[in-house]
């Protein structure tokens, strides 16, 4: 691989990791049934959640139903009584849009500088006596 190919590969790995990690965040919500919480969780059908159980397990799933005593996902049902903590994943549309715009600009700069360098090298080769 040439240096330019390595630079491109590193840039693509950085872009992929940035997209995967920067646009979501976890927000802890109260668990129904606890002494200080409301009767219903601040979770809606379709939300992605992370539940830590009292047994020490971590369960990540998309909520398909909300029952009076449990959250339900595909192939998983977690009663509120077994939850030690409950967090909801939120995706930031603004951050995602900004990330995509910055990544596209970064790619254009990398490609443009590579093309500029190739053009400069070709121009130098055309100068007599070099």
Give the pLDDT confidence of 40-80 residue by residue, as tens digits.
557 888 888 999 999 999 999 999 999 988 999 999 999 99
Cα separation, 24 vs 19, whole angstroms = 9
The predicted pLDDT at position 106 comes to 75
Residue 130 lies in a domain: no
Cα separation, 71 vs 87, whole angstroms = 12
| Percent of the chain clearing pLDDT 70 (strictly above) | 56
Residue 124 lies in a domain: no
Residue 14 lies in a domain: no
Coil/strand/helix, residue 14: helix
Residue spans of alpha helices (H) in 1-130:
3-22, 93-126
Residue 94 lies in a domain: yes
Q: Average of pLDDT values for 95-110?
A: 73
Give the residue with greater pLDDT, 73 vs 101: 73
- Token reading at 108: 């254009």
The predicted pLDDT at position 57 comes to 92
Report the number of distinct structural domains present in the chain: 1
Residue 46 lies in a domain: yes
Give the gyration radius of the chain's Cα atoms: 25
Residue 78 lies in a domain: yes
Residue 64 lies in a domain: yes
Q: What is the pTM of this model?
A: 0.52
- Token reading at 117: 């360098």
Beta carbons within 8 Å of 63's beta carbon, 6+ residues apart: 43, 44, 45, 46, 47, 48, 49, 71, 72, 73
Domain region containing 39: 25-98
Q: Give, in order, the Cα–Cα distances in Å from 94 to each of 56, 91, 100, 129.
A: 34, 9, 10, 54
Q: Give me the chain's average pLDDT, please.
A: 74
Q: Average of pLDDT values for 75-86?
A: 92
Q: Is the pLDDT of residue 38 over 80?
A: no
- Token reading at 42: 């601040």
Residue pair 110/7 in contact (Cβ under 8 Å)? The answer is yes
Residue 61 lies in a domain: yes
């Amino acid at each position: 691989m040439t240096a330019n190919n390595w630079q491109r590969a590193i840039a693509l790995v950085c872009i992929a990791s940035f997209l995967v990690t920067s646009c979501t965040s976890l927000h802890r919500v109260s668990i129904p049934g606890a002494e200080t919480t409301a009767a219903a969780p601040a979770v809606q059908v379709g939300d992605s959640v992370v539940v830590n159980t009292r047994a020490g397990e971590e369960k990540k799933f998309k909520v398909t139903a909300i029952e009076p005593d449990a959250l339900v996902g595909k192939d998983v049902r977690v009663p509120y009584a077994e939850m030690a903590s409950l967090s909801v994943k939120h995706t930031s549309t603004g951050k995602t849009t900004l990330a995509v715009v910055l990544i596209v600009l970064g790619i254009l700069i990398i490609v443009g500088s590579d093309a500029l360098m190739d053009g400069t090298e070709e121009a130098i080769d055309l100068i007599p006596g070099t």
